[in-house]
Structure 1
């Protein structure tokens, strides 16, 4: 199989006997595997998750390009940049002492601010989701055309689930940002996102994606449990670290 054929969404790897049959392409299968690896290793607090994440968003950007979902394609650019930043933030010293970021909870002030911004963003996007994604699609097409793509502007159908799509979009952005800073709340948001995704894709008859997000839901729930435990250990460690200099005086 040549490289061009690999990236073609019509190059079917396997037809999954779910619903009326779902033809999964090679690029979607490989992208999905890397996506699952990304989430699993992130739940284990392993920095390599960002390498898998970069591969995942790149492959899915190619998929969205081929099926002309240019607005979602542009969102992959954000996730690509977030993965690059997360890799940097997880590996560089977070303080002058050379210590790296530790898993922790958001402060009450940051939690309130995040909740307010998220709620307002979801409300606004719900009202304007169609023109918003049309704008993103136009921007993506114009950008690609600068590089000689010669694409026509797509005609987008009205969103079938504006509130739920807006919720998933906003919370996915917020969760990705929180993950780069190692806040436990990111996993709670991924649990919510995956629950919604399972329901939405099942309602649309895309049972393969619904099954995939059910797996992601399990990983996110495990990530929540693991990071809550780590955050508790880090909190317990801090008082002893602060008391050490006093004991030595």
Structure 2
């Protein structure tokens, strides 16, 4: 039942490399993402998971976008810093995922031979939004991935993609690690920013005092 040496093996290995590099905020992760998802385009199409196949075409484009954003997406074309969404942004994101899932799930259920069309749609649209979050270094992406990957495990098990199921189990563990690593980086960013403010304020006060004399 388990055929461990095939094209899926290569895609899984590249996907693991992508996540490990992403945890370390290493932009080389996007090269691994590009080639892994290119392989998955074919794999998912071959097992009638059409939304997942289309999703991986999107991933390929996002790999290019993510690499550019991490390199030049910050202020004055600098490296991109980690950020966090506010509650309103999360509410809007969840609402968009729900609507997109309902529409595409209905269309797939009534116009194709897709397996588990609503679950397939949910994991697809959730992953679309979460990938944008990764590209923009939004720390909350790790929490979204835990939910999405949990739902995807059943989807891929149903299609006998056992190596990908194992990958997602690993992803869930690494997502927790990723959140902790990025949270530490975010805290360091905030400390550095606060230190800079503390240094600038006395200087500004001194300048203002000198000018008033």
TM range (shorter): 0.7 to 0.9
1:128 and 1:235, CA in 2 relative to 1: closer, same or farther beyond 3 A? Answer: farther
Return the alpha-carbon distance in structure 2 between the equivalents of residues 199 and 107 of structure 1.
Answer: 31
Partner of 1:125: 104
Distance (Å, rounded) in 1 between the aligned partners of 2:35 and 2:134: 18
1:184-239 per-position Cα deviation (integer Å, ceiling 9, x unaligned) = 11111111112122234445655443222111111112112211222222223322
Matches within 5 A, 1:50-65: 50-64=30-44
Alpha-carbon deviations, 1:100-142, whole Å to 9, x = none?
21112113332232222222222333333335xx6xxxxxxxx
Partner residue in 1 for 2:113: 157
Alignment size in residue pairs: 204
Q: Does 1:28 align with 2:8?
A: yes
TM-score computed with the length of structure 2 as normaliser:
0.83
TM-score by length of 1: 0.72
Query: Alignment RMSD, CA only?
Result: 2.4
Q: Which has the higher helix share?
A: 2
- Does the alignment pair 1:180 with 2:135? yes
Identify which range, 60-69 or 48-57, moves more after superposition.
60-69
* Structure-1 residue corresponding to 2:70: 90
Shift of 1:65: 5.4
Q: How does 1:1-249 map to 2 (within 5 A)?
A: 21-64=1-44, 72-92=52-72, 94-96=74-76, 99-130=78-109, 156-159=112-115, 161-202=116-157, 206-249=161-204
Unaligned runs of 5+ in 2: 205-213
